[in-house]
Structure 1
Amino acid sequence: MDVLLAAVIFVVSYLFIMMEKINRAIVALAGGMLLLLTGVYDVNDVFFQYIDWNTIALLFSMMVLISITERTGLFSFIAVRLAQQVGGSPIPLMAGVCGLTALGSALLDNVTTVLILVPIVLKITKQLQLPVFPYLLAVIFSSNIGGTATLIGDPPNIMIGQAVEHFTFLSFVIHLAPVAVIMFMIMILMLVPMFRKKLQTKEANKKQLMEMDASLYLVHSPMLYQSITVLLMTLTGFVLHAFLHIDLTVVALCGAILLLLLTEKEIPTEQVFSRVEWVTLFFFVGLFALVGGLQEAGIIDELARGIVRWTDGDYVGTAILILWMSGLFSGIVDNIPFVAAMIPIIEEFESYGMVYLDPIWWALALGACLGGNATLIGASANVVVAGLAEGNGEKLSFLRFMLYGVPFVLLSLGVATLYLYVRYLIPYMG
Structure 2
Amino acid sequence: MNGSLTVLGHGSVDWGLVAIFATVYAGMFLGGLPKLRLDRTGVALLGAIAVIPLTGWSVTEAAQTVDLPTIVLLFAFMVVAAQMRLGGFFGAVTRGVGALPWSGPMLLGALIAVSAALSAVFSNDVVCLAVTPVVVALCRQRAMPPVPFLIGLACAANIGSAATLIGNPQNMLIGSMLKLHFADHLRHAAVPVVLSLVMLWVWLVHGTGRAGWAERAPPALNGHDTPPFDAWQTAKGLSVAAVLMGVFLFTDFPRELAALIGAGVLLLSRRLHSAEVMGYVDWSLLLLFMGLFVVNHAFQTTGVAAQAVAWGATQGIHLHEPGTLTLVSVLLSNLVSNVPAVMLLLPHLGPNPQEAGMLLALVSTLAGNLLLVGSIANLIVVDLAAKQGVAIDWRQHLRLAAPAALGSLGLTVGWLVLTR
Any unmatched runs of 5+ in structure 2? 1-14, 221-226
Q: 5 Å matches for 1:276-355?
A: 276-286=281-291, 288=293, 291=296, 294-311=299-316, 318-333=321-336, 335=338, 338-339=341-342, 342=345, 345-348=348-351
CA contact 1:118–1:385 (8 Å) conserved in 2: no
- Pick the aligned partner of 2:216 from 175, 200, 219: 200
Q: 5 Å matches for 1:37-48?
A: 37=50, 39=53, 41=55, 42=57, 43-44=59-60, 46-48=62-64
CA RMSD of aligned residues (A): 4.6
Name the aligned partner's letter for residue 105 of structure 2.
Answer: I
CA contact 2:76–2:260 (8 Å) conserved in 1: yes
The answer for the alignment partner of 2:106 in structure 1 is: 92
User: What is the CA–CA distance in structure 1 between the aligned matches of 2:382 and 2:284, rounded to whole Å?
Assistant: 12
Residue 84 of structure 1: how far off its partner (Å): 0.2
User: What is the CA–CA distance in structure 2 between the aligned matches of 1:359 and 1:269, rounded to whole Å?
Assistant: 40
Residue 172 of structure 1: how far off its partner (Å): 4.1
- Pick the aligned partner of 1:373 from 364, 369, 372: 369
Q: 5 Å matches for 1:16-27?
A: 16-17=30-31, 26-27=39-40
Residue 45 of structure 1: how far off its partner (Å): 5.5
**TM-score, length basis structure 2:** 0.70
In structure 2, the residue corresponding to 1:85 is in which secondary structure? Answer: coil
The answer for the alignment partner of 2:200 in structure 1 is: 187
The answer for the alignment partner of 1:61 in structure 2 is: 76
User: What is the CA–CA distance in structure 2 between the aligned matches of 1:292 and 1:394, rounded to whole Å?
Assistant: 39
The answer for the alignment partner of 2:277 in structure 1 is: 272
Q: Deviations over 1:330-369 (max 9, x none)?
A: 33345456556655544447xxxxxxx9975665454334
Residue 320 of structure 1: how far off its partner (Å): 1.9
The answer for the alignment partner of 1:258 in structure 2 is: 265
Q: Deviations over 1:58-95 (max 9, x none)?
A: 444344444444444444332322210145x5433332
User: What is the CA–CA distance in structure 2 between the aligned matches of 1:34 and 1:234, rounded to whole Å?
Assistant: 36
Q: Deviations over 1:84-127 (max 9, x none)?
A: 0145x543333212112333445x3xx53552464134223224
The answer for the alignment partner of 2:22 in structure 1 is: 8
Name the aligned partner's letter for residue 271 of structure 1.
Answer: E
- Pick the aligned partner of 1:383 from 358, 376, 381: 376
Any unmatched runs of 5+ in structure 1? 206-215, 350-356, 426-430
User: What is the CA–CA distance in structure 1 between the aligned matches of 2:160 and 2:89, rounded to whole Å?
Assistant: 24
Count of residues in Structure 1 that have an aligned counterpart in Structure 2: 388
Give aligned-pair identity as a percent. Answer: 21
CA contact 2:366–2:409 (8 Å) conserved in 1: yes
User: What is the CA–CA distance in structure 2 between the aligned matches of 1:244 and 1:231, rounded to whole Å?
Assistant: 19
Residue 279 of structure 1: how far off its partner (Å): 4.3
Residue 294 to residue 397, structure 1, CA distance change in 2 (3 Å): farther
User: What is the CA–CA distance in structure 1 between the aligned matches of 2:172 and 2:73, rounded to whole Å?
Assistant: 14
User: Is 1:122 the equivalent of 2:133?
Assistant: yes
User: What is the CA–CA distance in structure 1 between the aligned matches of 2:372 and 2:63, rounded to whole Å?
Assistant: 24
- Pick the aligned partner of 1:144 from 142, 158, 161: 158
Residue 247 to residue 123, structure 1, CA distance change in 2 (3 Å): farther
**TM-score, length basis structure 1:** 0.68
